[in-house]
Each structure stands twice: as C-alpha cells, then as structure tokens.
Chain A
Amino acid sequence: MASDDSVKMDAIVVGGGPAGLTAALTMARAGLEVMLVERGEYAGAKNVGGLLYGTVLERLMPGFYEKAPIERCVARRSLVFLAPEEHMALDFGAEAWARPPFNHTFIVHRSAFDRWYAAQAEEAGVNLIEGMVVEDLVTETSGGETKVCGVRIAGDEVFYADTVILADGANCLVTERARAALKLRGGRVEQDFAIGAKEILSLPKERIEDRFDLEDGQGAAIDFFGAPFDGLIGGGFLYTARESLHLGFAARIGSLTKAGLSPNDVLERLKAHPLVRRRIQGAELLEYSAHMIPEGGYDAVGDVSGHGVMIAGDAAGLVNMSLYKEGTNHAMESGRLAGETAVEAHGRKDASAAVLAGYAEKLRGGIVMKDLKKYRKVPVVLERSPDLLGLYPRKVNRLLTDFFTVSERTKSKTQREAIRAFLRGLPKWRFLRDAVRARHLA
C-alpha cells in the first residue's frame, strides 16, 4: 500500500452484491490487491431475499450450500393462474431437487447470505469497506481517450486502481457517470425497469412444512399470474423460507404508472386473493421492501467495458426476466468473468479498453448473454400481447371449472356449454398471433 494520502489498489469493486463480491473474490484468489466498497452498512443490507441459482457459486465454492446461510432448497415449483374467484395450478417437482446439489436452486435471505459471501471474500483477502458511498470515478484524459483510474468516496477521499469494476446494482449512478465520461454506448433500446415489492411474513417452521407439503429443509417456489396483476406487465411469487414466507411481485414501472397503482396496492390485491390469503394466513409481517429490476433484457445491454473499467450484474442489465427470473446467478457469472479479465489485465499490466473488451467477449460467448438473447423478445411480447398472462389462462381456468361444475344437467350439455363459454369472447386471429408469439416466453 502507498502512503497515507494515496492508496493504489490493483482493483476496486463498487458494490457488494453478488456481482461485486464474485468479482472481488475471483481477483483476490488470483493474488490481486482488491478493495470493495459497499454503500450499505454491510453487504446485503440493501437487499431482502428470494431465489438464488447457484451454478456459478458451486463452481467457485463446491458444496457452498453446506456452509452458506441457505433457508431452504427449492424442491417444488408451482405456476398458479389466479382469476378473481378461481385458480388453476401446475405443480411439479423432483425428489432429486431435494438432494445435493439441490437443482442449484435455493431460497435465501440476502442480508444473511450476502454477509456470509462477503466474509468469504474477505477471507480470500478482499479489503471490504462497508458503509461508504462511491460518489464518482476518478478519470484521466490523454490523447483524446479517457480512462478510469480510481474512485472518489464521499468526504472526498480518493483511491486509485488499475481496474475498477462497477457492480452498483439496478440504480447505478456510478455506472451512469462512467458511461457518460467514457462515452460508452447504451443498448439498442433504453433500459426498462420493473419494481419488485416484497413482504417477509413470519410463520413457524412446522406450519410452513405442513401447509406447503414439505419436509425439513425443502422449500416451494410459487409463481402467480392473472387477476391481481390485471393491466400490469408482471407477476407475483411466494417462496417459503425457513420460518418465513416471501410474498411479492414484480411489474414494469410504466405499467404501474399507467394503471395508477402503487406497489402497495398491488401487494394488497395479491394478498386479498382467497388462494394467497390461505397460503399466508396466520403469518405476521416482518419486513417490507421494494427495489428496482432492470428488465430491458438483451437489447438494453450496452457496452460493459472501457479503459480501466468493467460493468457487471444489474448495473449492466444482465437480468433474465423470463419465468426463470435469473438475476443473482447472472450477476455472479458476470462478476466472475470481469474478475478473470481484470486478472489477465493485471498480468499483462494493461487495462486498456482493448484488453478489458475481453470481458464483453466472454460474456457474449457464455451462458449469460446466450440466455438473455433467447429471451430478448420477452419484454416486447408481454407488452404487445397482454392476453397471454390475462385472458387466455382465465379462459382455460374457466373451462376447467365449468367442466367440473356439478349440476343436474347432462354431462354432454355441461361440456358443450363449457366449450361454448370458452370460445365466447376469444379473439380468434389475435389468439393465433399471440400463440405464435408465446414461443418467445418458453
């Protein structure tokens, strides 16, 4: 370390979420002197919890689930369509999901999990600086080219580094400054955001296991569509943690504004649905939180590197908002690739834009951008074919309930009526068009 007034690191990471921690861990393991600056009081303080896909972490720390604070593995999943008074569910699971490696799908409390992960990074040698805000980047311009050479922390402290990795999340002010300063290109389309709101409701362990038909350590992940989200582009979820339930939803901010609904309104609607109400009855509210999710997908991802800087995780918009809702795993993978690229740059003593562009290349050639590309049309399809998550499932739901409605009518009459009711008000041509479009969601 240099003198009191100027510290020069090999790398500085901005943001202590999954992307930043993975980048820092990767670099520290390779022997780099790394500093990570997290604005929350501790890593994870700015997040609540949810699903964690662990393939990247499994590669970095085999068997991490033995030690990490995991709430439950996901042994069962359900897709549930809600009509105002009816519902229709598709419930599936596998015994293998309840055995290591647990289908790499876990329910975690992010405040506990990220703290644990941060401790692993610290153990690997990362200098973890929590409760400090990076306000700006330190840049240097020569020969018409601008490079990032450090960060400015609130209170005007400057720290220098060869490489700065920005993992400052969805609301990424530092990344935006970097984009402006280095004239990095944005995506083909403007980034679009969803708002995610969530409640953590406490419920005793035994009641959760009885209610959701689970054994010790097993969890359920339920996705909700339909009535509570009418007029919105989004859906809800319910995850069972160890002694609490995570109930929430995510919806495009634009659609919320258009519908004139606040996140709380939607959450209340969801909780008021009889099926959801029964799932959460007796549970006590512990926490409420809301945060932003970049939902633009593949086409909203712009340049992710420049001279002296790389952008990872939500800050780069690497969220897969299809049914898989994969954010943390992508964040970790991008952090790992950015970290590896920084290690290479360190070895070559060259963190120029050309060398760090290797990160973008790795990202494009890897699972993150390939998956994002597969689902690139999701945002557009959901916007243009709102019936896919509204009218059609409601029709199928109605068909099923009509089919099984018991009355004194003959069965053939009941069935004929049911089919007639199903077809009534079903827009034929639009239905065909939407059915074709729906392939982009699968």
Chain B
Amino acid sequence: MAGNVMVVVREVWDTRDLVSSPLDESGALKPGALATRFEPEDLNALEAALRLKDAHGAKVTAVSVGPPRDVDVLREALYRGVDAALRVEADPAALDDAALAALAAGAIRQAGGADLVLTGTAVTDNENALLGAHLAAALGVEGVSWVDAIEEFGDGRAVAKRAVEMGYEFVEVRCPAVLAMGVALLEDDPRTPRSAKAMLKLKMKKAEIPTLTPEAAGAADPAAAVRTRIAGMETIPPRAIASREVDVEDSAALKAMLDAVRKGD
C-alpha cells in the first residue's frame, strides 16, 4: 500500500553559540538577537516519514504553521524529498502547543487527512514534548509518544518501536494515528536525517507552497486555542563556582582533589 503521511515541522530559535544574552533588562527577546533553525527533533520525524516513502511508497506532506523567518522549514522539507508542503498562516510565536496542534490538525483535515501524522518530540521553545499528544487529541485519533522507529506500516495499522528501560516495546496503533518521534535511544539509531539534494533544490526552489488561512484550518482565532497561562517568570541566577588549582606534581593534593570530586564538594 502507498499510504498518506503528514509530518508537522517547526522553525524554532537557535539557542546554540550565543555570545551574549539575547534578552534585554525586562526579560524580553532583543530583536535580531537570535536566529532560527529547523527543529532538530522534527528533522528526525521528517526522516521517519521519508523512510516510509522509501519503503512503502507513502506520499509525504510537510505541514508547518507560520511564515518562514530565517529558515523555510517547508522548503527544506521539499529539498529533502517530501511530495508536498502546506503552510498555515499564523504567528507561531503567539501560540502554544495546543494552538499549534489545532491549526496543524485543521490543515491536515483540510488536505484530506492522513494515515499517519508524525512530529518531533521536544522543541526548544517549550521543551515540553506535548505537540504529538495535542495533535492526537485535536484529530481525535490514537497517539504514541517517544517513538524511536516505525517497524511496520500498512493495512490500516502501524507498529511503533519505543526504547524503554531494559529493552524495547512495540506499540500497535490503528491508522490514522499520531506518532511523536523521540530522541535517539536506539543502539542503532536509524534516524540520522538525510541531507538536502541539489537536484531537489534546483527544482523546488521556486515551487509554490499552498497556504491556508487560520479560518481555513478551522481556527479563525488561533489565540483562543492557546491553553498555556503564564503565572510568573523568574530567572535562575548563575551559580558562582570558585575554581581551585592543584599542583600536578603534588600527588597528595591531587588525591585530595579526587576525593573532593567524589564527595561532590
């Protein structure tokens, strides 16, 4: 069977290599202080989707919410081999996972539904790994979190492999279903995301990406779908650590240092 797979991908803040604080005195993000990147966990989900295309001839559609900022994740998905892309117009910065899921689910329904919906687990914006669960709820289908590999897919079912303590478990779901791909826990991680193809860049650079309004995705007011309430925020002061130097020739001092490390002083 061929199958229809949709993968929800996100563009998130790139918090690597910060040279100074991206926040101003009031705790707000300084404009231009942070660049964005393709959510790395979503790249894993994309890879899993493309593997279903390779193995089963599934049609893969990438879905994303929001206009591209620094990285157009949908075009990147096209460069890596998805068959189609679909964008929902909304400001992702103003949304939480529940609202994001509502919009993505609306778009998926609008596009005719999917046998499997994949997404990544964590996301740097919230780090709460809830998008998969919210998507399953919004679509009213079964969902599995922390999936490390998709073992079987076809005949209206899929088998998800999850790494658990002391081994693996295999979860069978009826399609349609949502699988949130987890972090690499497999001994033999099969999900190293493939890179873009020059040929696809050549062909897809100017390809038009269909865009849905929030109304068309079934959420005329995306802000109303936000469930997160911020009660307060506090910054954690950095811990001051006094470094101590030990003479490398002094074996007694070295031993004392090792003891201190062991004891956790």
Q: Contact at A35–B202, with CB atoms within 8 Å?
A: yes
On chain A, the residues within 8 Å of B202 by CB distance are 7, 35, 127, 129
B220 on the interface (CB 8 Å rule)? no
Q: Contact at A127–B205, with CB atoms within 8 Å?
A: yes
Q: Contact at A157–B205, with CB atoms within 8 Å?
A: no
Q: Contact at B205–A132, with CB atoms within 8 Å?
A: no
* CB interface residues, B 177-210, toward A, < 8 Å: 195-199, 201-202, 205
Query: Looking at the complex, which one of A7, A154, A285 makes contact with B199 (CB distance below 8 Å)?
Result: A7
Residue of B with least CB distance to A287: B19
Q: Contact at B205–A37, with CB atoms within 8 Å?
A: no
> Could you give, for residues 108-129 of chain A, a 1 whenever the CB lies within 8 Å of some chain B CB and a 0 otherwise?
0000000000000000000111
Q: A285-B19, A286-B19 are in contact. Are A128 and B199 (CB under 8 A)?
A: no
A204 on the interface (CB 8 Å rule)? no
A95 on the interface (CB 8 Å rule)? no
Interface centre among A155, A159, A287 (most CB of B within 10 A): A155
Query: Looking at the complex, which one of A157, A284, A285, A287 makes contact with B198 (CB distance below 8 Å)?
Result: A157
Q: Contact at B199–A157, with CB atoms within 8 Å?
A: yes
Query: Looking at the complex, which one of B19, B20, B198 makes contact with A159 (CB distance below 8 Å)?
Result: B198
On chain A, the residues within 8 Å of B195 by CB distance are 154-155
A131 on the interface (CB 8 Å rule)? yes
Q: Contact at A284–B201, with CB atoms within 8 Å?
A: no
A127 to B198, CA, bound (A): 11
Residue of B with least CB distance to A128: B205
Q: Contact at B197–A157, with CB atoms within 8 Å?
A: yes
Q: Contact at A37–B20, with CB atoms within 8 Å?
A: no
A210 on the interface (CB 8 Å rule)? no
Residue of A with least CB distance to B20: A284
Q: Contact at A129–B20, with CB atoms within 8 Å?
A: no
* CB interface residues, A 149-175, toward B, < 8 Å: 153-155, 157, 159
Interchain nearest-CB distance for A1 vs B (Å): 8
On chain A, the residues within 8 Å of B196 by CB distance are 131-132
* CB interface residues, A 20-37, toward B, < 8 Å: 35, 37
Band of interface residues on B = 10 to 19
A4 on the interface (CB 8 Å rule)? yes
Interface of B is mostly: loop
Query: Looking at the complex, which one of A130, A155, A285 makes contact with B197 (CB distance below 8 Å)?
Result: A155
Q: Contact at A4–B198, with CB atoms within 8 Å?
A: no
Interface centre among B196, B197, B198 (most CB of A within 10 A): B198
Interchain nearest-CB distance for A33 vs B (Å): 11
A260 to B231, CA, bound (A): 56
Interchain nearest-CB distance for B254 vs A (Å): 30
Q: A127-B205, A128-B205 are in contact. Are A4 and B199 (CB under 8 A)?
A: yes
Q: Contact at B198–A153, with CB atoms within 8 Å?
A: yes
A276 to B195, CA, bound (A): 45
Residue of B with least CB distance to A122: B205
A437 to B182, CA, bound (A): 68
Residue of B with least CB distance to A285: B19
> Could you give, for residues 19-63 of chain B, a 1 whenever the CB lies within 8 Å of some chain A CB and a 0 otherwise?
110000000000000000000000000000000000000000000
A427 to B135, CA, bound (A): 82
Residue of B with least CB distance to A4: B199
Interchain nearest-CB distance for B74 vs A (Å): 15
Q: A284-B20, A285-B19, A286-B19 are in contact. Are A129 and B201 (CB under 8 A)?
A: yes
Q: Contact at A129–B198, with CB atoms within 8 Å?
A: yes
Query: Looking at the complex, which one of A132, A154, A285 makes contact with B201 (CB distance below 8 Å)?
Result: A132
A373 to B19, CA, bound (A): 43
On chain A, the residues within 8 Å of B201 by CB distance are 129-132
On chain A, the residues within 8 Å of B198 by CB distance are 37, 129, 132, 153, 155, 157, 159
A155 to B19, CA, bound (A): 33
Interchain nearest-CB distance for A381 vs B (Å): 39
Known A4-B199, A35-B202, A287-B19; further 5 A-B contacts with Cβ < 8 A: A7-B199, A129-B205, A155-B198, A157-B198, A286-B19
27 cross-chain CB contacts under 8 A:
A4-B199, A35-B202, A127-B202, A127-B205, A128-B205, A129-B198, A129-B201, A129-B202, A129-B205, A130-B201, A131-B196, A131-B201, A132-B196, A132-B198, A132-B201, A153-B198, A155-B195, A155-B197, A155-B198, A157-B197, A157-B198, A157-B199, A159-B198, A284-B20, A285-B19, A286-B19, A287-B19
Chain B contact residues, CB within 8 Å of chain A: 19-20, 195-199, 201-202, 205
Chain A contact residues, CB within 8 Å of chain B: 4, 7, 35, 37, 127-132, 153-155, 157, 159, 284-287
| 3 tightest A-B CB contacts, nearest first | A153-B198, A132-B198, A129-B201
